[in-house]
Amino acid sequence: MLFRLHGFARYEVSAFGKIPSKHNLNYWQFGDYIGIGAGAHGKITDINTGKILRTRKAKSPKDYVNNPIGIIEQVENLSFEFMLNALRLQQGFEPDLFEHHTGQSISVIKNQLSQAEDLGLLVINRKQIRPSEKGYNFLNDLIEKFL
């Protein structure tokens, strides 16, 4: 492919680069980020409660000025949110990161992981859970297993 000839690699389902973008990797590795300005989004982990909050600012500058705080919502389905992000990366994630970011044991999604693996959508070993080539090409089908 032409992008490889120029030194670019696909590190994320919709991104190519000579090196992965640290900014994008933070999203897909379920890191926190602050959304500032009209139309911005954010994800913040409350250090006191461990709850994960999503923030959304109004798209219109006028509406944003009238309400700069925007909307704050608690993420309810942490396992889905984590998988939605982490499976966008070709290398997937280390199983311990699931518990670290969600506060849940990886066993809560054991059945979904097994089903996805049986369908050839995931590659699972002790050190890594990642989309297979088929899973990467049909990422929406893979992620749907965790809803």
- Confidence (pLDDT) at 27: 86
pLDDT at 56 over 90: yes
- Confidence (pLDDT) at 94: 94
How many Å apart are CA 58 and CA 79, to the nearest integer? 27
Sign for the CA dihedral angle at 77, 121, 113, 101 comes to: negative
How many Å apart are CA 108 and CA 97, to the nearest integer? 14
- Confidence (pLDDT) at 3: 63
- Confidence (pLDDT) at 25: 86
pLDDT at 2 over 80: no
End-to-end CA distance of the chain: 34
Give me the mean pLDDT over the 9-32 stretch. 85
- Confidence (pLDDT) at 142: 97
**Tokens standing for residue 60:** 């219109």
pLDDT of 59-80, one tens digit each?
999 999 999 999 999 999 999 9
Which domains, ranges and CATH numbers included, belong to the chain?
22-76 (no CATH), 77-147 (1.10.10.10)
- Confidence (pLDDT) at 137: 93
Average pLDDT of the chain is: 92
Residue 99 CB neighbour total at 10 angstroms? 14
Sign for the CA dihedral angle at 106, 112, 116, 117 comes to: positive
- Confidence (pLDDT) at 5: 63
pLDDT of 116-134, one tens digit each?
999 999 999 999 999 999 9
Top-confidence residue, 54 or 6: 54
Top-confidence residue, 2 or 146: 146
User: Is residue 131 within a helix (H) or strand (E), and if so which, with residue range?
Assistant: strand 129-131
pTM, two decimal places? 0.84
Answer for the pair 144, 130: CB distance below 8 angstroms, yes or no.
no
Answer for the pair 144, 138: CB distance below 8 angstroms, yes or no.
no
What is the biggest distance separating any 2 CA atoms in the chain, rounded to whole angstroms?
51
